[in-house]
Chains A and B, each alone.
Chain A
Amino acid sequence: MTDNTIIRFENVTKSYDSATPVLNNVSFEIERGKFYTLLGPSGCGKTTILRLIAGFMEPTSGDIYFNGNKINHVPANERQVNTVFQDYALFPHLNVFENIAFGLRIKKLKKEEITRRVLEALKFVNLEGYENREIVEMSGGQKQRVAIARAIVNDPEVILLDEPLSALDLKLRTEMQYELRELQQRLGKTFIFVTHDQEEALAMSDEIFVMNAGVIQQSGTPMDIYDEPINRFVADFIGESNIVPGVMIADYRVQFGGKDFECADKGLSPNEKVDIVIRPEDLEITTVDRGKMTVKVDTQLFRGVHYELSTFDKDGNEWLVHSTKKAAVGEEIGLDFDPEAIHVMRLNETEEEFDKRLESYGEENHAK
């Protein structure tokens, strides 16, 4: 633990009445001033983590620390945290101004200061001039922005955002992504952001926690997670991937699709069964005799920036290819890729073991 740690979960488990816990022995650290994203499919426990941090419920077992102090039993209204709720939770009996001013009025600030800060917050979320509107007169996206303003206006140490951009159209969404990120950096606050959109997570975060079924599968920077997914779930969830079963024949040699390939991984047991990931954009179209692999083009879609080809090798494995070049449907083509493009994932590897293995490669490279 460093001095910079603001929130720490230690073996936190949360179960409602049923036997299977919603969060299962989760541990992590949140550092001050960074942008974190909880990424995972619906129902995996993202909101539950936020609710535990905000103090709306207590863990079944395990401890939560805030600035080094255990806060398991500290009530929500005494925590230095503000939340942007998934369903906005704006007060329908108050207008936009009063909604945003709610926390400041509780703190009994001076009238002029409240007005100044509320207007400032409105300006940030691009809602200048809306202060006298009723909540029912706002659109879904506008409500979300009021909710964001209501949280940031209190100047908390940590801001929790539960899918705050999900109701916005693509353009406004991208705009708000930039602005939220910019705001986070300007304020230097810790943001914990929940989404199930992997592109949003990759674009905005300093650090991503990929979750599934109440467990954090992998945590790391967007680059780490994208380039070195720990397992099939993460690889699949974080972006479109080709995931095929393979066998590690020896260090730096892996076999899949009936062929041996050079790769960058080592230190696994000989003949260990593994999963192989190659990103669609790492595959390059070439002629059959030049390619490392021969596949048959099944379909081709134009995706704007690139073509998306669905191809099959002779074992029946599907290979998605993103290419700026066109290919003819039904024809055989060659696929070329670098040894580094092959990511080897051990089955059932824990995050610790995985990190250790990756580190050992790093040392090797330094030694060279």
Chain B
Amino acid sequence: MPVLSKADIKEIKSKATGLRRDIITMLYRAGSGHPGGSLSIIDILVVLYYKVMNVDPRNPRDPERDRLVLSKGHACPALYAVLADRGFFPAHYLDSLRKIDSPLQGHPDMRKTPGVEMSTGSLGQGLSAANGMALAARLDGSPRRTYVILGDGESQEGQVWEAALTASHYRLDNLTAFLDSNGLQIDGWVREVKSLEPLADKWRAFGWNVLEVDGHDYASLLEVTGRASACKGLPTMIIAHTVKGKGVSFMENQVDWHGKAPGQNEYEKALAELDAGGRD
């Protein structure tokens, strides 16, 4: 796994800032959608799609490609921004998000959007599908990897834990999961709605290799992703400590920014902040 130089990190940061701009613009134009959980995972996606995953936009159905399932499907604006930037589809698609006849649905649709590997939106289902993909890779004798991103609120779904057992039972070491631990869900703080703690212990008890990381620190993200790939015999859960709404000051840690689009003033303010270099 390559190590990031200072210049690399600067470049990734500027890439991520540009994608945050795309997310905000897309949601502003759509007039609805989910900014908070999109901004919390964008740094993870940037590391995966620019530094880790083997995907080729010119050959999006290559059987040997790595897969990513966005189990917390409502954060698809982040995925769309990345896929557009990597060239899976033209950037102007982003302007049509959530509109009639758009290839970019409100939640990911594998039949409509190039680069989307699994349709999601009903929470709790993505890890099972990712397990199936990882089992298929093993049957094929292929080294390809499967990545999946779950939400912390989403982890209250029973199916997540059914799938957690399946992954460890089948020793899916070709699977890397990220848990976007931003602490918030729709009705408030996860710890107040229904606590998941002790979270890392739970995944360990379910038979997983568990790593924790600052989900906005590129070098660390790259490093743990490498450690996950190197782990033999167990699936890996990377608990990414993130900030919901990260990068737009007035959205950060605000439950209200889970599922509403910025109005014009908010849009301009957000862009100005991002253009000024974002907040660290």
Partners in one complex: no
List residues of A whose CB falls within 8 A of some B CB.
none
List residues of B whose CB falls within 8 A of some A CB.
none
